[in-house]
Amino acid sequence: MNENGKETSFLQKLFGDGPVTILHKKNGRFILDVVYESESKSRTMLMAGNMQTILSDLKHEPAKAIEIEAAIADIEDQLMPIIKDLPERRCLVTSEQAFWGIAKVAGLGSDDELQMNVDTVEEIFNRLVDVAYGTPASKLEVPENREFTAIVLFLRELMHHASFYSIILRR
């Protein structure tokens, strides 16, 4: 998240029922930063995935169905070992610009803060699958680029396997 004071203030609002998990993308890696206390001193950092690994599976623009399947398998291989290390309470937050692209495609607006549920991410994923099977991307209003596809695939798998029902996007 941005600026330590703003992050602490924002996180304090979310701590009602327990820890908060912050999703970062840094140097091509997805990191889950589990914050246990509002003072942000008790944290666990979990490496959740590698963008380069996902992109290596997605060779075409738009991605082909077999490439999407391979990318999902790699994402699951990266996620499964850390799922058990996540807290029972599943509150997911990010300020990473890459995830705002999904909200834009979903038509969720451009507020400084919004909540996107797993069904919305699934709907965007389904559009990408339709494109992989031949529907024109322009007809379904989704970008054809590999990076967007990789971000959607990662977030979808994270939300499904780690039981995050929504993600809070914050600028």
pLDDT in tens, 94-115: 999 999 999 999 999 878 899 9
**Confidence bin at 64 (pLDDT 50/70/90):** very high
**DSSP characters for 110-148?**
--SEEEEEHHHHHHHHHHHHHHHTT--HHHHT----HHH
Q: Whole-model pTM? A: 0.91
Give the CA count within 13 Å in the CB-facing half-sphere of 97. Answer: 2
* Number of other CB atoms surrounding residue 61 within 10 Å: 13
Confidence of residue 9 (pLDDT cuts 50, 70, 90): low
Read off the pLDDT of each residue in 14-28 and give the average, rounded to a whole number.
85
pLDDT band at 88 (very low <50, low <70, confident <90, very high): confident
Q: Name the maximum alpha-carbon separation found in the chain.
A: 50
pLDDT at 11: 61
What pLDDT shows up at residue 109? 82
Residue ranges and CATH numbers for the domains of the chain are 52-170 (3.30.420.150)
Report whether pLDDT(43) > 80: yes
Condensed to tens digits (0 to 9), the pLDDT of residues 154-171 reads: 999 999 999 999 999 998
